[in-house]
Amino acid sequence: MSDTTTERAINRDAMTVSDEVAIQITDMNKWYGTFHVLRDINLTVNQGERIVIAGPSGSGKSTLIRCINRLEEHQAGTIMVDGTELSSDLKNIDKIRSEVGMCFQHFNLFPHLTILENCTLAQIWVRKTPKKEAEEIAMHFLEKVKIPEQADKYPGMLSGGQQQRVAIARSLCMKPRIMLFDEPTSALDPEMIKEVLDTMIELAEEGMTMLCVTHEMGFARQVANRVIFMDAGQIVEQNEPEEFFNNPQSDRTKLFLSQILGH
């Protein structure tokens, strides 16, 4: 896959990593029926960290990221998000979900609501923000992702890149402390990939904690402070981007990188 590197220099000033732990995953295991998808996952993410998760198809990247806001249930081990443990307690789950934003490969916008309504809905119903204020916040984030003029359209009228940016704005409206991205660009044309990546880079520059499943290695190099490589449900290797790309340790990683960067 080609590098879609942005030309402008990245402002790394705000991209500091604090000592505060945002996500703590210990000995986490997950099965689909008898199929062991995630095996002994241990991962600590600090506030402000930007992590890229890479790996071959079917390695469990999506499953891992979806466990963090409990779209999937894990069967063993613990996941702590912002100091709260994920358990089957519904109140905890809803609280964590409103703190953790998520962007999907297929955007998952609500087609029966306008862009603005998509962005205000959760604020009004979950955060109980007054409608007026919610709309102001929504417009603020829509401006940030550079599509305020589309506010009154329906998602079906927008291009893929625009929809993904709306999805990001929708998550941001909840003022999340952590953002999860599951292959946000893999359903998009190259031109649109760039507009979405630009938005994500801006977000990184503001110090957002990000976990990002992506095949955009240029993005990983530029923004991430850690790259995690997964295979067969396990974390095979993790390292700083420079090290990871220039000096991969395991054979599996080397093979993967040669495949993904080789042409």
Partner 1 sequence: MSNSEISFVRTEMLPEKAPPAKETGAIKWIRQNLFSGWLNILLTVLSLYVIYAVLSLVLPWAFGGVWNAGSLTECREVLFSFYKGSHDGACWAVIEDRWLQILFGFYPPELYWRPILAFVLLFVALAPILFADKVPGQLMWFSLAYPFLAAWLVWGGSFWLPIFAAFGFVAAVIAYKILIKFAGPIVANLGALAAALIWWGMLMSPISDGLHKMVGSSRFENTVATLNARTDALPAEVAAEDALLEAKQAEIAEAVEVKNEILIEMTGIRIEEFGIEEQFEAKEVALQRIVGASESISDLSDILADWGGAPVAASGASEGDIAKAEAAAETAEDLVGDIESLLTGALSDLADDTVDASELMVSSASQADPSIAEDVSSMVSKAGLEDPIAALIVRAGNVSTETPEAELMALQADVETAASALGANIEALQTVHDKVIATNAESLVDPQARLLDQTSLLTALRDDQTVISQSKFRLETELSEGNSFLNSLGTLEAREASLPGLRSRVADLKAELPRNMRNLIAVNQLPEGTSSADERLLSEYLSARSDVLGVSASVNDTYGELGRVGLLPIDSRNIGGFMLALIIGIAGIVLSLPLGILLALGRQSHLFIVNKICVVFIEVIRGVPLIVWLFTASLLLNYFLPPGTNFDLVLRVIIMVTLFAAAYIAEVIRGGLAALPTGQYEGADSLGLSYWQSMQLIILPQAMKISIPGIVNTFIGLFKDTTLVLFIGLFDPIGLAGAIRADTAWNGIYWELFIFIGLLFFIFCFSMGRYSLHLEKKLQREHR
Ligand X SMILES: Nc1ncnc2c1ncn2[C@@H]1O[C@H](COP(=O)(O)OP(=O)(O)OP(=O)(O)O)[C@@H](O)[C@H]1O
Dist CA 38 CA 63 (whole Å): 8
User: Please, what is the angle between helix 160-172 and helix 115-122, to 10°?
Assistant: 20
In the list Mg ion, partner 1, ligand X, none, the entry touching 153 (Cβ below 5 to 8 angstroms by class) is none
Using CA atoms, how far residue 126 sits from 56, 95, 132, 149, 181, in Å, is: 36, 9, 15, 26, 21
Contact with Mg ion (CB under 5 A) among 4, 62, 214, 253 = 62
The gap between the terminal CA atoms of the chain, to the nearest Å, is 7
Q: Which residue has the tokens 């100091």?
A: 83
Smallest distance from partner 1 to CB 70, Å: 8
Q: Evaluate whether 171 touches 109 at the Cβ level (below 8 Å).
A: no
For ligand X, which is the closer residue by CB, 60 or 248? Answer: 60
For partner 1, which is the closer residue by CB, 140 or 221? Answer: 140
Contact with ligand X (CB under 6 A) among 4, 23, 52, 61 = 61
Smallest distance from Mg ion to CB 104, Å: 10
Contact with ligand X (CB under 6 A) among 4, 47, 63, 69 = 63
In the list partner 1, ligand X, Mg ion, none, the entry touching 222 (Cβ below 5 to 8 angstroms by class) is none
118 binds Mg ion (CB under 5 A): no
Handedness of CA 91, 93, 94, 99 (dihedral sign): positive
Window of 62-70, 189-197, 227-235, 255-263 that interacts with Mg ion by CB under 5 A: 62-70
In the list ligand X, Mg ion, partner 1, none, the entry touching 32 (Cβ below 5 to 8 angstroms by class) is ligand X
Dist CA 72 CA 217 (whole Å): 27
Residues 14-43 as x/- pattern, contact with ligand X by CB under 6 A: ------------------x--x-x------
Smallest distance from Mg ion to CB 61, Å: 5
Smallest distance from ligand X to CB 55, Å: 6
259 binds ligand X (CB under 6 A): no
Type of residue found at 118: N
Using CA atoms, how far residue 123 sits from 134, 171, 172, 180, 250, in Å, is: 6, 10, 10, 19, 45
No. of H helices and E strands in the chain?
A: 9, 10
Binding interface with Mg ion (CB under 5 A): 62
Binding interface with ligand X (CB under 6 A): 32, 35, 37, 55, 57-63
